[in-house]
Amino acid sequence: MAGERVLIIDDSNEVRDIIANLILEPAGYRVLTASNGAEGFRMVVETQPDLVILDEQMPGMTGIQVLRAMREQNLQIPVIFMTAFGSEDLAVQAFRLGVRDYVIKPFEPPEMARAIDRALTEVRLRRERDQLVAQLEEANRRLQQQLQELNALYSIGRSMTSQLDLEVVLTRVVEAAVFLTRADEGLLLLLDSESGDLMLRAAKNVDEQRARELRVRVEDTLAAQVFHSGEPLLIADGQPKVVTGYLVRSLIYAPLRTPERGTFGLLGVTNRERQRAFTSHDVRLLCALADYAAIALENARLYEETETARRKLEAVLRETEEGVIILDPEMRILLCNPAAIAALRLPAGGIVGRSAAALISNNTLLNLFWKARQGRRTHSAEVWIPGGRIYNAQLTPVEGVGYVLMLQDITQLKELDRVKSEFLATVSHDLRAPLTTVRGYVDLMEKVGPLNDQQREFVEKVRRSITHIAALVSDLLELGRIEAERELEMELFHLEAVIDAVVDGFRTVAAEKKLELRWELIPLPLIRGNPHRLRRVIENLISNAIKYNRPGGWVAVSAVQRDGYIIVQVADSGIGIPPEDLPHIFDRFYRAQRPETEEIEGTGLGLAIVKSTVERHGGRVWVESRPGEGSTFTVVLPAAEEGAMS
């Protein structure tokens, strides 16, 4: 490596010229010379050469004296020692003083060149080592700085994302931005949905008066560039303008954005007083912080919205008269309003987070909880509370939450229903005796004397009216008994066997009307219910299908199992039901007023009995019909749980 500075210290001009002209200069070295030891030592101290070629015998200071002086000054410069009077003691003394090589005069130029190359090779290696060490130290310093910045960024990000108070998050974001970039000021601007402008929501070291008034239009401004492009902006020098009258020396804007909302604000830092310009490294730090900030702000916003919604929900539930209990998937209480606490006589406090089964002792509700855990569908039941209150309880699964239990006080309705049922039963019972008497006298009229044709026609009309009233009384009594029964007598049985027996009982009636009665018995799971009540349901549906049919038509009965339910359908090719009558078809005493149905007898209670019975079994019933094409009645009943015992 040429270009090193070599100092020759020798009182002989010839030696200096030979070394300089024949060895050093042709090889590209820069030559310094001194003619005596004192001058040479001074030049060593002042110029710090890369190599010293030092003679021993010189006026003023000898070579050994120069070496001692260099050691005292701690000058770590390689030395080639020359002497014309070499001795072993001198060589040992020179090497002890740090000499790198030892040359005896006279010497050949190649010999000196090799000595110079050996000495400078060590210098070069040491210099390269020092440079490498310096580079490593610089790299390590930068790495340590980056690690410190990353640790600070991580700590700041974790602190922000764990905080749910929006105002605290805003303040921490701006403070962190100023700290990481060593800026004069920090700004956080969020988009105002009403005006479309960027409004200052938090600041660090910004004048309070300016902060209150700072508003940035998202048009033709530096902020607008960032907002629309979604990329950060760095202005390292000049006088960038934040807003009119607000000039700074350097500036960085980083966008605040999330995939869901896009860009919704800016995080900025400025230097107003200091000359220090921001760097691309500062931009990366601010962008990383902006990403943390966007997540933290979105979390805080969502939390604030959730809290607002929760407070509104609590206020609504607190004021509602119906009992409401919200449960998690493990049936632990998340929310319970005062009405539910009062209804179930729960403790006033400390119930949130506790198991509902541990707090509620009502067996009907416990059974409702058990059913809901077995299959995620809505379950309902009437709950009798000690003290005489009756509630309609409905437990509904809610995706992502768990379950909602609604308790509706139906005590007064049940009492009215009981009074009504007792009244109907009393009236119906009291009607039976006079009806029986009238029927008896009508039957005796032909025996006390002959009747003409007109009298015989009147008697027959009276007899049919008595039969109709008797059927109406029977249906009223049955409907009253169904609605008055607190608990139906339930048992496990095969519904398809009941349907099969009913269909067989109607085959003669269907044949008389020239109808095809279709039915195929398919084995079904057990059902828990009242066989007598469900038999009446099937009888009413098939009876209607036959009565409201045309000669030559058909009635089809089917029963299948699907997803834990038994679905029974009774379809016919009859006269159908007009659309305006469909919403009322299950109402009591309702009969469609049509010419085709005037001669068909009925009480208007059969389908009301069907609906009441099916609902008491936890099922549903509905009808689909087109006038002139027929009707299909569908009954859905829950199958018994697997492993259920009678």
At 558 the pLDDT is 92
- Cβ contact 537:610 at 8 Å: yes
Q: What is the largest CA-CA distance in the chain?
A: 181
Q: State the DSSP code for 21.
A: I
CA 221 – CA 122 distance, rounded (Å)? 61
What's residue 569's pLDDT? 92
DSSP state of 355: B
Tell me which residue has tokens 């995706």.
399
Q: How far apart (Å, rounded) are the C-alpha atoms in residues 538 and 634?
A: 11
Yes or no: say if 299 and 164 are a contact pair by the CB < 8 Å rule.
yes
pLDDT bin (cut points 50, 70, 90) of residue 592 is: low
The answer to whether residue 483 scores a pLDDT higher than 60 is: no
Q: For residue 153, what pLDDT band results from cuts at 50, 70 and 90?
A: low
Range among 157-166, 412-421, 596-605 rated most confident? 412-421
Q: Is the pLDDT of residue 478 over 70?
A: no
Choose the weakest-confidence range: 232-236, 306-310, 358-362: 306-310
pLDDT tens across 359-380, in order? 888 888 888 888 777 766 787 7
Closest Cα to residue 10, out of 71, 81, 75? 81
pLDDT tens sequence across 79-115: 999 888 767 788 888 888 888 888 888 888 888 888 8
Give the mean pLDDT of 115-126: 81
**b/e map 147-156, b = 16+ CB within 10 Å:** eeeeeebeeb
pLDDT at 439 over 70: no
Strands (E), 340-460: 379-385, 389-398, 402-409
Report the mean per-residue pLDDT for the chain. Answer: 79
CA 505 vs CA 163, 468, 522: distances in Å:
74, 22, 18
Give the model's confidence band at 645: pLDDT under 50 very low, under 70 low, under 90 confident, else very high. Answer: very low
Is pLDDT at 524 greater than 50 in this prediction? yes
The predicted model gives 258-273 an average pLDDT of 81
Who contacts 36 (Cβ-Cβ below 8 Å, separation ≥6)?
Answer: 9, 11, 58, 59, 60, 61
Residues 329 and 225: their CA atoms lie apart, in Å, by: 48
Section 75-82 average pLDDT: 89
Which tokens go with 286? Answer: 């601010």
Section 15-39 average pLDDT: 89
In the predicted structure, residue 184 carries a pLDDT above the cut 80: yes
Task: Check residue 441 and give its pLDDT.
Answer: 63
pLDDT of residue 644 exceeding 60, the answer is: no
In DSSP terms, 32 is beta-bridged to 7
Instruction: Provide the whole-model pTM.
Output: 0.40
* Whole-number pLDDT of residue 634: 92
Write down all domains in the chain, each with its CATH number in brackets. 5-130 (3.40.50.2300), 163-306 (3.30.450.40), 323-406 (3.30.450.20), 413-484 (1.10.287), 491-638 (3.30.565.10)
Per cent of the chain over pLDDT 90 is 6
Residue 421: band (very low, low, confident or very high) from pLDDT cuts 50, 70, 90: low
Q: Which of 147-151, 242-246, 320-324 has the highest mean pLDDT?
A: 320-324
E strand or H helix at 604: none
pLDDT tens digits for range 596-643: 555 555 555 677 878 888 888 888 889 898 888 888 999 999 888 665
Mean pLDDT, to the nearest integer, of 235-242?
Answer: 70
Judge whether residue 279 has pLDDT over 50: yes
